[in-house]
Amino acid sequence: AFAQNATDAIRCFASYVSTKLKKSIRKYRGAGVLAPPRHSLFESITIFAGVFLVMLALVGFNHCLGVLEPEFTYEGAWYASSICIIFALTAAPVGQPRQIFLAHTWCILVGFIFQQIPTGGFETMFDINKIPKVERVSGLPLTWKQAFSTAFGISGQAYLGIIHPPASSLAFIFASEPTWKFKNLLPILGGDVIMVIMSMIILNL
């Protein structure tokens, strides 16, 4: 009887492990969802031309802003992933104008809020012991601010239904760098307008 019970237990455990492995393999394969198909040579050339023109306009716009007001700018690199989605994954819901504008605004707002939380003079929790107790200031370590802001940025996009993956980095960036102010939202949205209008024109030629 003991041997039979032991055998049944082993079989049950083996079945459980086998089921878990099969599920893990299916998840690893993307649950049957295939990767985006290859584009034709002509489509790739169109993508190249569209990306080049839009990025050139964004960089030029940022340069003009920098001449007028050095702090009233953005980083052109922030738009690279968005442009990739717009031109290479045109039908993707996450690349629609509504998603772009709202996700950028949300993530910048989240990052700016976390930027206001003092770090206490240390980047990680391990740095606390390096500062004498009499000199310690209450605050949230920079690494925690970065992680919290990114988590809030992404989970908030999911809850609000405004997911645009490239925007997520803005929560991290604004929480990390005090040089980026809330007023930078305006030039960033200005860049969004340029990107969306130009891409719509190019894609509908």
Model pTM?
Answer: 0.76
**pLDDT in the model for residue 125:** 58
Average pLDDT of the residues of the chain: 85
Q: Is the pLDDT of residue 199 over 70?
A: yes
**pLDDT in the model for residue 86:** 94
Whole-number Å distance between alpha carbons of 136 and 131:
6
pLDDT (mean) for 133-148? 75
Whole-number Å distance between alpha carbons of 95 and 83:
9
Whole-number Å distance between alpha carbons of 72 and 145:
24
Q: Is the pLDDT of residue 197 over 60?
A: yes
Q: Is the pLDDT of residue 42 over 80?
A: yes
Q: Is the pLDDT of residue 148 over 60?
A: yes
**pLDDT in the model for residue 28:** 64
**Tokens found for residue 180:** 């980026």
Q: How confident is the model at residue 91 (pLDDT cuts 50, 70, 90)?
A: confident
Q: Is the pLDDT of residue 131 over 70?
A: no
Q: Which string of b and e fits 11-39 if b means at least 16 CB within 10 Å? A: eeeeeeeeeeeeeeeeeeeeeeeeeeeee
pLDDT (mean) for 137-151? 85
CB 95 within 8 A of CB 82: yes
pLDDT (mean) for 121-126? 61
The residue with greater pLDDT, 27 or 38, is 38
Q: Report pLDDT digits (tens) over 170-191.
A: 999 999 988 888 888 889 999 9
Q: Report pLDDT digits (tens) over 51-75.
A: 999 999 999 999 998 888 887 888 8
CB 138 within 8 A of CB 120: yes
The residue with greater pLDDT, 163 or 19, is 163
The residue with greater pLDDT, 137 or 5, is 5
DSSP assigned state of 116: T
